[in-house]
């Protein structure tokens, strides 16, 4: 999980802000970590693989832009939404 946080989350450009007490992120960054962990578990993937997909398809932008709707959704819906977003981007 630390790998995911330090390489993919925290600010709009994907850099984590590190304070003396640890990583400080926006609420969207924290939620992205939750989404990535849900996606990783659903797909049986490694964190590095999920991070690569998030970066390649700019999933963070989608999660950030849809935060208000997504943060109330269940894990299956979030994983399905990420799959749909990736499919649309790869088409």
Q: Taking 90 as the threshold, does the pLDDT of residue 8 lie above it?
A: no
- Going by C-beta distance under 8 Å and a sequence separation of 6 or more, which residues neighbour residue 32? 8, 9, 54, 59, 60, 63, 64
For the stretch 42-59, pLDDT in tens is 999 998 999 899 899 999
Residue 91 pLDDT class (50, 70, 90 cuts) = confident
- Chain-centre distance for alpha carbon 17: 16
């Amino acid at each position: 999980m630390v790998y995911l946080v330090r390489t993919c989350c925290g600010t709009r450009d994907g850099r984590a802000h590190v304070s003396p007490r640890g990583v400080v992120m926006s609420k969207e960054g924290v939620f992205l970590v939750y989404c990535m962990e849900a996606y990783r578990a659903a797909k049986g993937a490694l964190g590095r693989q999920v991070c690569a997909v998030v970066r390649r398809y700019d999933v963070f932008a989608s999660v950030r832009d849809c935060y208000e709707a997504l943060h109330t959704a269940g894990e299956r819906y979030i994983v399905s939404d990420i799959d749909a977003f990736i499919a649309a981007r790869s088409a």
